Structure 1
Amino acid sequence: MARQSISFTKPNDDWLKEQVDSQEYTSKSELINDLVRQARKQQAEIDWIRTKLDDAEQSGFTSESKQEILAQAKSSFK
């Protein structure tokens, strides 16, 4: 496993410590690895959505642009 040395702002370090202290995680390393896994999964989902939007735009399924579709999606989640 690769070792890294990283620095955190005080609020972020305090939050990390709270998570470990609450026994949600056994260490900061475990927590950071979980956050990275979640970010990677989220990025994969975003990439999938972008691909679907590109496919729909290219197929003529919609006359709206990718930006218009994204704007509509964002406004519906507010």
Structure 2
Amino acid sequence: MSTINISLPARLRSFVDERVVEGGYGSSSAYIRELIRHDRDRQLLRGLLLEGGESVPTVTADRPYFEALHCRVRRHSPE
């Protein structure tokens, strides 16, 4: 694993320290890694949404479509 050194103002460092304790992270590095993972996932999702928005619809997104989708989600959701 490689390392990165970052400089933070005291107020941000205090915020990170609080989040580490409150969030149950083992270290500030673990917290920062989690933030980076979330940002990466957000970027990926954004790209997929943009790609989907530019694609040609293959089904009509009408009431029956969303009702069927809702039923599928309920079947796969933990109770």
Answering whether residue 47 of structure 2 is matched by residue 47 of structure 1, we say yes
Provide the rounded CA distance (Å) in 2 between the counterparts of 1:23 and 1:52.
34
Q: How far apart, CA to CA, are the structure 2 residues paired with 1:12 and 1:55? A: 41
How far, CA to CA, are the matches of 2:47 and 2:23 in structure 1?
Answer: 33
Distance, in Å, in 2 between the alignment partners of 1:49 and 1:20 is 32
Aligned residue pair count? 57
Spell out structure 1 runs of 4+ moving beyond 2 A.
20-23
Aligned alpha-carbon RMSD (Å): 1.9
Larger Rg: 2
- Normalised by the length of structure 2, the TM-score is 0.62
Stretches of structure 1 lacking an aligned partner (at least 5 in a row): 57-78
Report the CA distance between 1:45 and its aligned residue: 0.5
Q: 5+ unaligned residues in a row in structure 2: which ranges? A: 57-79
Residue 30 (structure 1) shift: 0.3
In the other structure, the counterpart of 2:7 is 7
Q: Distance in 1 between matches of 2:37 and 2:46?
A: 14
Shift of 1:23: 5.8
The correspondence of residues 1-78 of structure 1 with structure 2, limited to 5 A, is 1-22=1-22, 24-56=24-56
The AA in structure 1 aligned to 2:33 is: N
Percent identity, aligned pairs only, is 23
